[in-house]
Structure 1
Amino acid sequence: MTLRTLFLASAAACTALPALAEVNIYTTRQPELIQPVMDAFTETTGIEVNLAFVQDGIVERLRAEGARSPADLVMTVDIANLSQIVDADVLQPVDSPVLNAAVPEELRSADGLWFALTTRARIVYASRDRVADGEVTTYEDLASDAWEGRVCTRSGTHDYNLALTAAMIAHHGEDYARQWAADLKDNLARKPQGNDRAQVRAIWAGECDISLGNTYYMGLMLSDEEQTEWANSVRIVFPTFEDGGTHVNVSGVGMTAAAPHRDDALALMEFLVSPAAQQIYAEANNEYPVLPGAEVSDLVASWGTFTADDTDLTELAGYRSQALRLMEEVDFDG
């Protein structure tokens, strides 16, 4: 048998093999944050999961790849990011009784293009030594003169803060939100910088007394030997809007239009909202499960309870461009 004949025979044998059982994911989340739940899925089903971390340009990448894209699923944080991916027309609808039953209606798109997997609250970290209980209760309070020179935050144009500003627009209108942002800027102890954990470090160092942050960062700090002291210098406060609840955002998933492994991808999506997967999310990432009845971790439970604001998430995404514009108008980061 010639080499050419042997090669052709081998190629023919390969094409006769069933397609690999795998799911390819483009994710803006650090892979280590979601690897535990992916490992559990593989152990349960035998289906391999390949994670590709795409920090920027995920929409552009999917558009450029088109029908040739190897990605089956997209996972990201923030409702605005999910909405941008939807608007790019790179996802396909998923009609799954399992997903529809597990994910509350307000945490998924009506057309099946995205489903929330976890939620997180945008809260206030307050100095245990310098801020009394009840001293800050609403997001509107942050613009009060009482906090002049006492607030730290990351960039006003970061997705997390834009979502909060969009929620302020939804509750009070753009003019109010613009003045709120300007007054909040006047209360800053320093120029916006760093991430949410950097703000807690600044409170520990005495540079400010309160900061905005996401709940799960407390868990991340407590798991880091260097940052535990920062975490212990603050407590979590769940502010509300004056006419609403505590601002929440989501991490979510959608199936790409190309999805070369659609059945396996759907199996993973359904697994991610199962009791087992939601418990892993809760324990590993200190996030809030979307599955009704799923328990939070003991650490998260120790932070207390809150009532989530009921503003529609897709409405918030629609206000993102206005939120960005007004943050730039008040030169929040300047």
Structure 2
Amino acid sequence: MTTTPRRTPTLEDLAARAGVSRATASRVLRGQTNVSDEAREAVLAAAEELSYTPNQAARSLVTGRSNSLAFCVDESQERMFSDPFFFGMLRGAQGVVAGAGQQLVFTVTSREEEHRRFLAYAAAGHVDGVLLLSLHGRDRLPQELEAIGVPTVLSGRPLTGASLYYVDADNVGGGRLATEHLRRAGRRVVAHVAGPLDMCAGQDRLAGYREALGEDFEPELVESADWTVAGGEAATAELLRRRPDLDAVFAGSDLEALGVIRALEHAGRRVGTGADEVAVVGFDDVQAADQQRVPLTTVRQPIADLGATMTSRLLERLAGEDPPRSTVLPVELVVRRTA
């Protein structure tokens, strides 16, 4: 005995079941607002009854949209897969993308040839918009994407001065919070292991540190690193060579802070809040910060919310809305045992 395969319901079937026109059913499925509440409820109920799933391939042919967004990280694969910051951002972005019924395409573009390939991929219509993370220097990739008609939202303030859409944490405020906390604790020689100074986060956290110190700022107490544990360790070794009297360190990231602690311990210095210990503050509040032998005091930025907000801004642009070009989310100090 053979059975006839069940026919996949069409948009016409859905409209007939809901008692509305094909055009009205289509508007409901696209999330448009020019539909009555009664019609919307009828269409959604009918879609559930029929187990209706829109034909994305057909929709793409009609709308010229791929229904895909790119999550593009301008870093090496090694850095991308070793830094929990990016996974937090990805988690936040994916939640919004999935809720919108779209797909997220992940790519890493750290070299010029990778930039060119990604531009060609985007220009061919494979993605409708781009979430762009971790730009260095005056990289013009976002301007090139916008020039070919691919809306883009950046993670972090652009250094080019261009009028681009971006979402950022209050890095200046965070740097100030960390440094003021150390000064209030009586620390007199506060060093800073900065992030890369060709990135907005590195520059802005350093700016907050300088603001908090005012006239007490000393350039020799700043050493730049690359957001990594190894970078933080090497920078701290150099700072100790220059200023063995330092009694506090504000690190530009939690991974750098772990390297700071490693270097201090290697030099025979203890980390903590005691008068004979070196206080350390990080930035990010990744999961590892609270799992150390001495839990790390840090500045928490809302990593998942940053990814979600970037994605919402991009979807707003794709819907023809005009969201704010800059969105800055607040940070907070999380006091644990290193400072």
- Aligning the two structures, in what range does the TM-score lie when normalised by the shorter sequence? 0.3 to 0.5
TM-score, scaled relative to structure 1: 0.42
